[in-house]
Structure 1
Amino acid sequence: MLEQLRGLLRAVLRSTRDSVRDGHLKAAYRQFTLDGVGRPFFTKWFASVDDRGDECDRALILDGRVLRSLNALGWSTREAAGRRDWPSRYAAYVSTMHALAGEFGVTAEWLEWLLFDLNGQVRAETS
């Protein structure tokens, strides 16, 4: 039984790594199916194995802290994707972060770190 689990884990990690490196983030998201392993872990996996160049929309980490900050800013992955499914929502998050990073002259990873650090503690200034 333990050997079967190891084999499954190896297969999932290998197939998702290959999908990420081919730029197929939605496919990788759909393929990552391991009981008890959620989005924060496997998007960290995606970000760690994405060895494509900086000209690509490289995988990012989407965890609860980042989602809290996005929601506090009024940005919804569901609205951005125009769909309910999480693979599409993750892909929309990644592409939007890279687009914003380009506009601001920073990296998408830096924006992601900022959202992570804020952990939803975003205050809107009123004038």
Structure 2
Amino acid sequence: MVEQLQRLVVRYGESVRKPVRFRPGTWRPRLASHGAAHVLDIGVESASGPGGDRLIERGDLVRLRDHAGDDPDGLRDLFVAVMIWGSGTTNGRGPRYTEAALSDPRLPRVLRTTCVAVRGGDLSGAYRQFALKGVGRSFFTKWFAAVDDREAICDRALILDDRVFRSLNALGWSSWKAAGTRHWPTRYATYVSCMHGWASSLGVTPDWLEWLLFHLNGRVDRDLSLGS
């Protein structure tokens, strides 16, 4: 696995993550009734494309996380920002799913308990505890990654969405085989541990390696053959 990843890292080592474009006008009606429309000021105004579009990047989430601390309203705002960042302009269902989550009475408790679990290093526990309307694994692991404020030496939470999974599967890696179980919380924690180990061996950061797998979206065969 490391040898395959090494070839991909060599090929894409100079690639950089770009900010995500979003349209505040699309989100505002879904957020305003929940007192969360102010989150749409995050990021910067886009200099190109349709007027009013803004750009958001991971650094914006880090700054919002540091400002939020463990304040319930701050955590809610961070969650909304994560949903915006994860949806961009390509996931038209994002605003609707975010509104569903904001309407779920479990939201404050789920954000608080999973925040505590993630920051305490219990990623499997956080996975078990997350249950909100409209939010599946692809997005709640984004929440885990955003809310994790531990030092870089820790196995910090990473995103596991369908695109990342597609790339891992194309490389022949199976989460349930690696974890020795089909229990999803354990499989997620195993994925995070493996990614940190691979990244350390490859001399890259775990979140960059996660982004690379997301970027490739399962299209690894061509790149591996070109590198052979």
Q: Calculate the TM-score normalised by the size of structure 2.
A: 0.52
Instruction: Decide which of 183, 186, 210 is 1:85's aligned counterpart.
Output: 183
8 Å CA contact 2:104–2:132 kept in 1: the answer is no
Alignment of 1:85-124 (within 5 A): 85-123=183-221, 124=224
Alignment of 1:33-112 (within 5 A): 33-112=131-210
**Matched position secondary structure for 2:225:** coil
CA distance in 2, matches of 1:37, 1:77: 21
Note the C-alpha offset of 1:6. 4.8
**Matched position secondary structure for 1:54:** coil
* Root-mean-square deviation over aligned CA pairs: 1.6
Any runs of at least 4 consecutive aligned residues in structure 1 with deviations exceeding 3 A, and if so which? none
Higher relative contact order (CA 8 A, sep 6+): 1
Q: What amino acid is the match of 1:76? A: S
CA distance in 2, matches of 1:105, 1:44: 23
Residue 125 of structure 1 is matched in structure 2 by 225
Q: Calculate the TM-score normalised by the size of structure 1.
A: 0.92
CA distance in 2, matches of 1:35, 1:8: 9
Note the C-alpha offset of 1:7. 3.8
Gapped regions of structure 1 (runs ≥ 5): none
Q: What amino acid is the match of 1:125? A: S
Once the two structures are aligned, what percentage of the paired residues are identical? 64
CA distance in 1, matches of 2:105, 2:115: 15
Gapped regions of structure 2 (runs ≥ 5): 1-99
Give the aligned length: 124
